[in-house]
Each structure stands twice: as C-alpha cells, then as structure tokens.
Chains A and B, each alone.
Chain A
C-alpha cells in the first residue's frame, strides 16, 4: 500500500495535498522551501524560525505548515531546524540543465564541495549522481549539516538526500 503510514514515503497524493509544497510556477522561479510535512503532529519550529513569515502553522500547532511561496526566499534556515528533517530547498533555476537540492544530513563522514555522490529519492533508492555544491554546518544548525547538491533538473522532484558515505571500518579500533 502507498502512503506515509504504510511505507514511510509520502505518496504523490499526500505531497500534492501538503500546504507546504510550493506550486510548480514558484518552483521555476528559483530557491524555495519544499515542506513535505503530511501528518498532523504537534510541532512548529519551522514557523518560529522563518524570518520572512513565509511559513504559517497557527496557534493549533498540529496544523500542517502552510508555505507562502511569494514570501519564501529559499534561505534554508527551516531546513536545518525542522525536527523531522522534512524540508528541502529546491532551486530549479540553478543552471540550464541542473537544479540544486539542499537537504539536511546528520551522518558522518560528510561529503566535501565538488564530490560526486549517489543522490537518493524518498525511498533511499539511487536515482542519479549528485555533485556537492556546498556543505554548511554552523552552530545555529545544532549538529545538522545542510548539503547543497546539484542534480540533473529532471530528477530534482525525486532526489531528497544522498547515500550515506562509508565510514572508517568500525572493526579497526
């Protein structure tokens, strides 16, 4: 069966209905937050952290976050601050053939700018290669790194993370 409660992956319908997912027109204009929050859980740090008032949840904090695409600058503060790691920033206007996906990442080792990595979809399947554009890990992100990765434009709706990099062998101690 499809859907987040059966698979852990939001279905196309769930994503289409999510008020935090920006419109296709807004996507084309460049950097914008894509909030894939489809379950009513009590949580609102994304609303609190947004300096531009682009995310609205309201006093009933189980409401799904609503994105105002016109106010969103794609700054990405919400990406690192969502406790559910459910927000990415998509930039379809990155170049003629590439888009960037900025996603939260909490594993080590971290990739470095220029690295080629396996870009994965919401189910962890490798869909294409990604090129790391930038890795940001600052105190304000409280341990979460935000990775900006360029992928062929046709995959940017699918790609949501990268495959974990192999660590040092844990046997070598």
Chain B
C-alpha cells in the first residue's frame, strides 16, 4: 500500500475544510484536502440566499458566490485537492486510509483536520419510506445544484431556517409549497425567512405534524393533524393535503465516524445534534494533532463553519511552527470575535451556550487526564 506524507491533511472540502485549507496553506503548510464528492464546496454551493452577519462575514453576498470565491482562493494558493476520493478510515495514530483514483493510499499527515459536516435527520411516520419523502437538504441539492424539481406540490416538515430557506428556494425554482408544518408552538427559524414564506401565501402551521404519507408507489397525498402539548396528534383534527412531495427539515447530526475511529472523546449536546467531539479553543480534539471544524463539531450554519475552519487552519499551522505564537494569537482573536458575533442574538445564544458547554467539558476531561 502506497504511503504519502504531508503537513496537513483535511477531510472534507466544504465550508470549513476549504477555509482551513486556505489558512494553513497561507501560513506555508503543505496541504492535502480529500473529499468523496465529484465537486468541491460541500453544501455551500446550494445556498442561494444572501448571508447574514456583517461585512466581515460577507453579509449580503449569496452563499454560492462566497463558495465560488473561496474555492478560487484555495485553488490559487497551491492546496492539493483530491475529489472522488473516499476516506474509509482513520487509525489512532491519525493515519488516513483513502481510495484515490482506484488506489488504496495511506496518508500520513503531521496534523489532520476533520471537516466532514453533518447529515439530515429522518422522521418516521406511516408512509415515510415512500419515494417522494426526502430531506429538505436533498431537495435543495436537486433544485439548486442538479437543477431538477423533486416534486411540484410540496409540504415541508420543520420551520427551522433549513425548512424556511428550502421552501423559499423550491418556490424560486418553480414548485409550489402548500404548507410548512411545525410541531412546536412557534416557528423555529428567523422571522425574516418566515416572512418571505408568508408573503408568498404559504401557511406555516405551528402545532401540527405530518401523520401519514399516502400513496401506492409514491407520495400522492399527505395527512397532517394538530398536536397536543406532548406532540401527540389530536384525533379528529386530520386534514389531507394534495401534495406529491414531503421534505423533512427536522435537524441534522454531525458525521463523526472518523473521529470515533481515531479515539476522540465525545460529549452529548442535543443543541448541536447529539454526540460531538470534545475540542479546545484551538479546535484540537482529545487526540493530539487531530483538529475539527464546522458542523462535525456541532451543527450550526455555514458562516460559523467557515470561521471554525479558519481557526483550525491557523491552529494547525501554528502547531507546526509555521506561525509565531503572537501572529497566531492575533489571527485567532479576530476569528473568535467574528464567531462570537455569529453566536449572538435571540437565535445565536443557544449555540453559544452549547459551544461553551463543549469547551468546558473538554477542559474538565483534559484536567482529569493530567492528574
């Protein structure tokens, strides 16, 4: 088996991975980015809405434009990117097994950054396995990347930002969204996203859930009902919606398989999607030299993923001695300032609290290990 070495190997060429690559390469590191997909960019290129934040976060610029510019920067910087390359495992010594161009290769990097992102949650109800029931992110990939409509008449389950944004983008692509159904008593995502949906005439039914997808071979109708305080459907409140597609926007969970294999310690933080790797303020996990960034550390959003990528890239490069302590600290301070802003306000506080808990649990574990 061929073995290759590099300074920094990054798994995942999405928002976080590309930012990490750019930062590390800019500091002078030899960087290899590996991604199993045919195209780089992860989920960034399907984000058509204008991003929030400040000018430092490229606010007002559409996600795919930010992605295009980031990719251009990374390509110019001299980072090596392997696409269509599957990382199938990681050893405790952080060596990575990759199938690249049909060849099994071991990548032995001085530092590794895992930025594998997250995948969508599923929710079971009668008929939920029928073709026509899909993740909201999947529908978003279909309309915005592959440019096909996965359905014409859609019911969205979940009113978080993903449910709201994807509903809007499905309408932009020409589909009709018949309703957004939300079990909680209130809308989960930004009011401004919900406002766009409402102005388009789409009802947002809080306190409702999908009870059944009806159809022989694929979705033909959807049954919804009101729920009680314990989220149980209330008999007699059922309504039938003539929809051909159901999109599930019921959260995401981090794709942490490689980190478990490498022996990282985890903590359980529901607000971040479940089990998330412990990491310190420099994004280093409990396995020395193994860093994480983006949704794999806990599900947030693209701008935060990019900043965590920047942070991991700077930290990994600094630990190789490529940046002075002072220079690295200055960079980190800027990045942390921007991250702090993204984790503020009535929606961001929950993520800030979750991140603080994750850092505190990591610190407690590390203190225990030193004793």
Q: Which residues of chain A have a CB within 8 Å of any CB of chain B?
A: 1, 4-10, 36-45, 48-49, 60-62, 81-86, 106-108, 120-125, 142-144, 160-161, 163-164, 167, 170
**In the bound complex, do residue B193 and residue A84 qualify as a contact, i.e. CB atoms below 8 Å apart?**
yes
The answer to whether B241 has its CB under 8 Å from any CB of chain A is no
State in angstroms the CA–CA spacing of A45 and B55 once bound together.
7
**In the bound complex, do residue B171 and residue A85 qualify as a contact, i.e. CB atoms below 8 Å apart?**
no
The answer to whether B232 has its CB under 8 Å from any CB of chain A is no
**In the bound complex, do residue B200 and residue A62 qualify as a contact, i.e. CB atoms below 8 Å apart?**
no
Known pairs A6-B187, A163-B201; A41 contacts B347 (CB<8 A): yes
Closest 3 CB pairs of A and B: A84-B192, A8-B194, A124-B201
State in angstroms the CA–CA spacing of A143 and B65 once bound together.
11
Q: Which of A41, A48, A120 has the most CB of B within 10 A?
A: A41
Contact flags B338-352 to A (C-beta < 8 A → 1, else 0)? 000110111110000
**Complex partner residue of B54 from A6, A44, A84, CB under 8 angstroms:** A44
**In the bound complex, do residue B200 and residue A85 qualify as a contact, i.e. CB atoms below 8 Å apart?**
no
User: Cβ of A45: which chain B residues have Cβ within 8 Å of it?
Assistant: 50, 54-55, 59-60
**In the bound complex, do residue B186 and residue A6 qualify as a contact, i.e. CB atoms below 8 Å apart?**
yes
Please give me the residue from chain A that is nearest to B194 by CB atom. A8
The answer to whether B215 has its CB under 8 Å from any CB of chain A is no
Known pairs A40-B346, A42-B344, A84-B193; A9 contacts B61 (CB<8 A): no
State in angstroms the CA–CA spacing of A40 and B190 once bound together.
9
Interface residues on B, range: 35 or more
User: Cβ of A108: which chain B residues have Cβ within 8 Å of it?
Assistant: 172
**In the bound complex, do residue A143 and residue B62 qualify as a contact, i.e. CB atoms below 8 Å apart?**
yes
**Complex partner residue of A8 from B61, B191, B348, CB under 8 angstroms:** B191
User: Cβ of B185: which chain A residues have Cβ within 8 Å of it?
Assistant: 1, 6
**In the bound complex, do residue A39 and residue B201 qualify as a contact, i.e. CB atoms below 8 Å apart?**
no
**In the bound complex, do residue A62 and residue B345 qualify as a contact, i.e. CB atoms below 8 Å apart?**
yes
Known pairs A6-B186, A106-B172; A86 contacts B195 (CB<8 A): yes
State in angstroms the CA–CA spacing of A170 and B342 once bound together.
39
**In the bound complex, do residue B60 and residue A83 qualify as a contact, i.e. CB atoms below 8 Å apart?**
yes
**Complex partner residue of B53 from A36, A61, A170, CB under 8 angstroms:** A61
Q: Which residues of chain B have a CB within 8 Å of any CB of chain A?
A: 49-55, 59-62, 65, 149, 152, 171-172, 174-175, 185-187, 190-202, 204, 206, 341-342, 344-348
**Complex partner residue of B191 from A39, A106, A123, A125, CB under 8 angstroms:** A39
State in angstroms the CA–CA spacing of A1 and B345 once bound together.
23
User: Cβ of B195: which chain A residues have Cβ within 8 Å of it?
Assistant: 4, 8-10, 36, 84-86, 122
Please give me the residue from chain A that is nearest to B199 by CB atom. A161
If A9-B195, A84-B193 are given as contacts, then 4 extra A-B residue pairs at C-beta distance below 8 Å, sorted by A number, are A9-B198, A41-B192, A84-B195, A142-B62
Please give me the residue from chain A that is nearest to B341 by CB atom. A42
User: Cβ of B149: which chain A residues have Cβ within 8 Å of it?
Assistant: 170
